[in-house]
Chains A and B, each alone.
Chain A
């Protein structure tokens, strides 16, 4: 069975400091990983996914299959980055449907 672990419940950093959110997964197949973000009073939204290898709002995430990790990083945190972040793994096949398995989430607080 698949599992996603986010070891930090809360990360508090100062504006301009680097921030790294850890995500580890266990999955027997080829993983497809995502980071979702939920800003205050807003719905859950996709931040980025590993297959697109893009940078969104200054965030990047690299899939490390050897360490089964998909950590999210940003070199200079901004106050607007304060939010709840969830790492998620997609499993399943197209015909049979698929699902997302979420980690427990990390709350990021960026202080001025």
Chain B
């Protein structure tokens, strides 16, 4: 079992650009959550997807959007990138929103 897989592992973008990050959940998991982890801080919740719908959302602007596909994989999109969006983006999957999470290794996004 590959666990939670995220791609790409590293990414460099320019301010104002748009980025898409991808996540494949652990086999059997149907719920995907996204977190942003800035340097030296704990992860912050962005949103959670279950049954292809956004179920919960954290305190992030509309520039952050997501999608869940029928195979439970998910994408995180960020528009109009700011320097402050530079962070490690973590994906976590679970079996329904009720159970514990398995985290991926993350995508390191650098905005220059």
Contacts and interface: CB of A to CB of B under 8 A. Distances in A.
Interface in A37-90: 43-46, 49, 86, 88
A45 B45 contact: no
A102 interface: yes
Interface residues of B, number: 26
A98 B103 CA distance: 15
Contact of A98 (B44, B48, B105): B48
Contacts of B50: 97
A92 B56 contact: yes
Interface residues of A, number: 22
A104 B42 contact: yes
Contacts of A17: none
Contact of B45 (A6, A100, A104, A105): A100
A94 B96 contact: yes
Interface of B: 4, 31, 33, 35, 40-45, 48, 50, 55-56, 58, 90, 92, 96-98, 100-101, 103-106
Interface of A: 4, 6, 34, 43-46, 49, 86, 88, 92, 94, 96-105
Given A4-B42, A100-B101, 9 more contacts: A43-B104, A46-B100, A49-B100, A86-B43, A100-B33, A100-B35, A102-B35, A102-B42, A105-B42
